[in-house]
Amino acid sequence: MLFLPAAIFAQNIGFRMDAGLGAGLTFSGLKSYGIVAFAEPKVTIGPSITAGIRFEGDVLFGGSITQEAEDLEVGMSTRAALLVRGEYFIGSSGTRPFVGLGFGRYTIANTSASGTGSASIQASNNFGVAPELGIAFGNFKLSAMYHFVGGETLVEIEAGNPTSISNNYLGILMSFRVFGVKDRE
């Protein structure tokens, strides 16, 4: 008798793996654009809730900083994120909106820079939070996730004043279920 509630609850728990690609964009003093890729193993709890871990990496290209006759162009920046995440799906139809929230650790590095002077750009490890808003079409999802990443990356430009760059970025994402349970409708 004691195992009956646990058995009923266990029927509402499943496992799935989602993966996806998207566009990464920054809007601070250094505007960059690139690609984001991620994988998310997660547990489903009933038809509306998922909880899991997100492994994300991005490569962003372009961007420039102009300061006191110094022009610095950044060729590439990279970010890697390890987030604990949850999602809540609204409604029970095959097409439904969802909200998500993640928090975790970000590793950020700008890997190349050139210009009329020289520059030193530091790598950093920071914690951040990432709210997400999207719509699920069965096994396919479209969403926007904004990463609020703590700290700033300091850029020291030769013969100029140090400049700080925000670590925040936006991901416009599409994802799909690789394997796992179907949504319970």
Assess whether pLDDT exceeds 80 at residue 23.
Answer: yes
Domain count, the chain: 1
Kindly report whether the global pTM for this prediction surpasses the value 0.85: no
| Inside any domain, residue 3 | no
pLDDT of residue 56: 97
CA neighbor of 147 nearest in space, from 121, 127, 176, 174: 127
pLDDT of residue 1: 47
CA neighbor of 180 nearest in space, from 47, 13, 14: 14
Residue 28: domain span: 16-178
- Amino acid at residue number 15: F
| Inside any domain, residue 72 | yes
Q: What CATH number does the domain containing 64 carry?
A: 2.40.160.20
Confidence class for position 96, pLDDT limits 50, 70, 90: very high
Q: What share of the chain is helix, strand, coil (3-state, %, to 5)?
A: 5, 70, 25
| Inside any domain, residue 8 | no
| Inside any domain, residue 185 | no
* Cα diameter, the chain: 78
Q: Considering the chain, what is the average pLDDT of its residues? A: 81
What does the block give as tokens for 67? 């300061």
Residue 146: in which H helix or E strand, if any? strand 140-149
Confidence class for position 57, pLDDT limits 50, 70, 90: very high
What does the block give as tokens for 133? 């808003």
What does the block give as tokens for 157? 């430009």
| Inside any domain, residue 69 | yes
pLDDT of residue 155: 56
What does the block give as tokens for 52? 């899991």
| Inside any domain, residue 1 | no
The residue whose two tokens read 């997400």 is 132
| Inside any domain, residue 167 | yes
The alpha carbon torsion through 112, 59, 124, 143 (nearest 10 deg) reads: 150
Q: Please state, as a whole number, how many other Cβ atoms lie within 10 Å of the Cβ of residue 37.
A: 15
| Inside any domain, residue 7 | no
What does the block give as tokens for 176? 């799909």
